[in-house]
Structure 1
Amino acid sequence: MTATLSVDTHAHVFLRQMPLAAARRYAPDFDATPGEYLDLLDMHAHSHGVLVQPSFLGCDNSYLLSVLRQHPRRLRGVVVLEPTATEAELAALAAQGVVGVRLNLVGLPLPDLRQPSWQAFLARIRALDWHLELHRRAADLSALITAAAASGCRVVIDHFGRPDASLGGKDPGFAALLRHADAGRVWVKLSAAYRNAGDPPQVAAAAARDCARQLLAAFGPQRLVWGSDWPHTQHQHLASYGASLAALGDWVPDAAQRQQILGATAAELFRIPFPY
């Protein structure tokens, strides 16, 4: 394992024969094993990784938790839960290395996070100093962020905030995301730019670079993190682990800022002690 603190904050592990959620957009036809992922971390000199519950597994976090138990020093987890999850249930998850809850809302109705049941759930997340991870197109993010921030919990935005492919950094929803930087409780993942792309590769790369520079100017390296999005589900033909890491060098040219993003910022947000 590398002795330098470096964190990949977004990856998935699963087996194709696992029971899938009834409501899903996608079913994998391959395995993404913990062994493969740990080998990639080693190959690319990352000390730690964060496993995010895939949407197609729903709220059955059992496989992710089993992997965290096997690698408690190196891996952290972000799970999918119903808002009815109790304080005791959350505490048990925290003891296993869980540090956040994901709301993957792509293709789903928007929840009203202002409702008392959601605010109570978010308060329980805040009490553990976890974060709420939001995956939704940029146009819908601002209202979700405002409602979540009312609880005081940390908010992490997936995949650049998912700006519209035809608008990129000119998406009004993306501009609204930038304005949330002033609140101080919002982080953004520089990850999976290919999920926001609809143009030829060179145009898509330029759009991702523009969005990254805007995010860096607004949030600074103190509230940006990087994720590989391995194994790049539905985009395996467009992406690889090495290419995802190389893209960070294009998005954030300054080496010191990249190290802040990969190291101290990620370690603090995902509760990773260092030295380990």
Structure 2
Amino acid sequence: MSDTCLVPITGIDSHAHVFSRELNLTAARRYTPGYDATLAQYLTHLHAHGLSHGVLVQPSFLGTDNSYLLTALRQAPERLRGVVVVEQDVSRVVLNDMARLGVVGVRLNLMGKALPDFRDAAWKDFFGHIAELDWHVELHRQLEDVPGLIRQLMPFGIKLVIDHFGRPDARLGIDQLGFPEMLELGLTGQIWMKVSGIYRLAGTPQQNLEFARTALPLLEQSFGLRRLVWGSDWPHTQHEGSIGFGTVVEQLQALECSTQLMRALLVDAPQALLGFAFGR
């Protein structure tokens, strides 16, 4: 997708959600929102924190009805990209239409679900389309299952993005099951990591922050500067009472990143992964 009116990139939020409580929610959901998270609210948050661009990710409770997200993309095409949730047998025509609106990836939110077997032949065409479109596949699952899923996905030659540090348990430290294996897989150069959702790491706020501080240099060494992206995870579903946009910005600052790493997280890595054009 090409931008007709380029906006200078000051910072990219690589993970946020928009929705309305009036939308039809999927029956198989773990969460029901009691409020609206509108595009106008989101863009206000970006502006308030010096960020210029954002990525809207389809929330799990909306299932495969991406219409609200796609409508949002139409309203600010120069500033937004999208990550959708689709059925395995989605047509290439539908995917092409989404690509023209600024969709750059699909999300596999496997939290609370039975693990799929990506070696099944039924996935071949789906991932073939994703590879041809140069989209990425975003993987959301507890850490212990992440390495095995990645190993199944890598032969498809697609870009892989891991959500929220891989959803580790901060109380268990960096040697917990799955974390060393994930770091090893990061060396392949095919995988990106979202430095996001620190408050979702199962510990106390201090434990979560300490884990993130310890893990980040290891992730930088493994994945490299060009494959780490930051996301706000706004509006922080299930944590709205204690977390706001300002909170996650403060958490990012508390990681005490070098200038080089901060630039990579907010500009260089997401710009390359998500296809944003630099404004002038």
Q: TM-score range by the shorter chain?
A: over 0.9
Say whether residues 1:224 and 2:228 are aligned partners: yes
Say whether residues 1:241 and 2:245 are aligned partners: yes
Unpaired runs of 5+ residues, structure 2, are 1-5
Structure 1, 212-221 or 38-47: larger mean CA deviation: 212-221
Equivalent residues in 2 for 1:77-92 (5 A)? 77-92=82-97
- State whether residues 79 and 102 of structure 1, in contact with CA within 8 Å, keep that contact through their aligned partners in structure 2: yes
- Show the counterpart of 1:267: 271
Q: Secondary structure at the match of 2:101?
A: coil
Of 60, 67, 70, the match for 1:65: 70
Q: Secondary structure at the match of 2:270?
A: helix
- State whether residues 82 and 103 of structure 2, in contact with CA within 8 Å, keep that contact through their aligned partners in structure 1: yes
- What TM-score, normalized to structure 2? 0.94
Higher relative CO (Cα under 8 Å, sequence separation at least 6) belongs to 2
CA deviations on 1:168-209 (whole Å, 9 max, x unpaired) are 32212111111111211100000011111223x222221121
Q: Which amino acid aligns with 2:164?
A: H
Of 173, 183, 207, the match for 1:203: 207
- Show the counterpart of 2:42: 37
Q: Which amino acid aligns with 1:124?
A: H
Structure 1, 167-176 or 105-114: larger mean CA deviation: 167-176
Q: Which amino acid aligns with 2:179?
A: F
| CA deviation after TM superposition for structure 1 residue 5, in Å | 3.3
Of 246, 261, 266, the match for 1:257: 261
Q: Secondary structure at the match of 2:230?
A: strand
Structure 1 residue ranges (4+ consecutive) displaced by more than 6 angstroms after TM superposition? none
CA deviations on 1:222-253 (whole Å, 9 max, x unpaired) are 10000000000111133221221222223352
Q: Secondary structure at the match of 1:107?
A: coil
Give the distance between the partners of 1:250 and 1:174, measured in 2 at CA.
22
- State whether residues 49 and 74 of structure 1, in contact with CA within 8 Å, keep that contact through their aligned partners in structure 2: yes
- What TM-score, normalized to structure 1? 0.96
Q: Secondary structure at the match of 1:99?
A: strand
Q: Secondary structure at the match of 2:50?
A: coil
Q: Secondary structure at the match of 1:170?
A: coil
Q: Which amino acid aligns with 2:117?
A: D
| CA distance 1:250–1:183, change in 2 (3 Å) | same
- State whether residues 196 and 231 of structure 2, in contact with CA within 8 Å, keep that contact through their aligned partners in structure 1: yes
- Show the counterpart of 2:61: 56
Percentage identity across paired residues of the two chains: 47
Structure 1, 118-127 or 56-65: larger mean CA deviation: 118-127
- State whether residues 8 and 278 of structure 2, in contact with CA within 8 Å, keep that contact through their aligned partners in structure 1: no
- State whether residues 171 and 207 of structure 2, in contact with CA within 8 Å, keep that contact through their aligned partners in structure 1: no
Q: Which amino acid aligns with 1:48?
A: H
| CA distance 1:93–1:4, change in 2 (3 Å) | closer
CA deviations on 1:45-84 (whole Å, 9 max, x unpaired) are 1110000000000000000000001111001000000110
Number of residues of Structure 1 aligned to a counterpart in Structure 2: 275
- State whether residues 249 and 258 of structure 1, in contact with CA within 8 Å, keep that contact through their aligned partners in structure 2: no
| CA deviation after TM superposition for structure 1 residue 221, in Å | 1.6
Unpaired runs of 5+ residues, structure 1, are none
Q: Secondary structure at the match of 2:139?
A: strand
Give the distance between the partners of 1:23 and 1:196, measured in 2 at CA.
24
Q: Secondary structure at the match of 1:133?
A: strand
Q: Which amino acid aligns with 2:201?
A: N
- Show the counterpart of 2:219: 215
Alignment RMSD (CA, Å): 1.5
- State whether residues 160 and 212 of structure 1, in contact with CA within 8 Å, keep that contact through their aligned partners in structure 2: no
| CA deviation after TM superposition for structure 1 residue 164, in Å | 2.4
